[in-house]
Amino acid sequence: MAESRSVDTATDIREFPRGRVEVVTVGTTTVTRSTMEPGWRWSECVKPIAGTDSCQVQHNGYAISGCIRVRQDDGTEIEINSGDAYSIPPGHDGWVVGDEPWVGVDFSPTMADFAKTR
């Protein structure tokens, strides 16, 4: 059966300092829209909620606007800009670069656990 849900009317909304994630499930797929304001950093804004040393969520998505920098636990870094598709394995920190909010849409099942207390 075909299914459609608007992220604009998500009922699962997770807010944290300088950011929010809107979560919907379509069929068996979790879809999220993340909005991170300038100054957002995972290790400062979400780590206290997650209770892990680094983000342990797999991210697969598409950047709508802004720029975010991601540093893996092994020290490698990438920058994700508007229009980029991305895949980020667990074990990383991330932060917004510049003065524009970063907005991304993620299709990873593990995003169901993002910004939730473990």
- At 111, the pLDDT band (50, 70, 90 cuts) reads confident
Question: Which residue in 19, 46, 43, 15 sits closest to 104, CA to CA?
Answer: 19
Structural domain contains residue 19: yes
pTM: 0.90
pLDDT of res. 114: 78
pLDDT at 95: 98
Asked if the structure places residue 64 within a domain, the reply is yes
- The mean pLDDT of 20-27, rounded to a whole number, is 93
- Domain for residue 105, yes or no? yes
Specify if 6 maps to a domain.
no
> Which parts of the chain are beta strand (E)?
12-16, 19-26, 29-36, 59-65, 67-72, 77-81, 85-88, 92-96, 102-106
Residues 95, 79: contact at Cβ < 8 Å?
no
CB 83 within 8 A of CB 18: no
Q: Classify residue 97: in a domain, yes or no.
A: yes
Q: Which residues constitute the domain of residue 56?
A: 14-113
Condensed to tens digits (0 to 9), the pLDDT of residues 34-74 reads: 999 999 999 999 999 999 999 999 999 999 999 999 999 99
Give me the pLDDT at residue 115, please.
78
pLDDT at 118 over 70: no
Sheet containing strand 67-72, edge to edge, reads 77-81, 67-72, 92-96
Distance CA 53, CA 41 (A): 13
- Based on the structure, what is the number of domains in the chain? 1
9 in any annotated domain: no
CATH number reported for the structural domain that contains residue 39 in this entry? 2.60.120.10
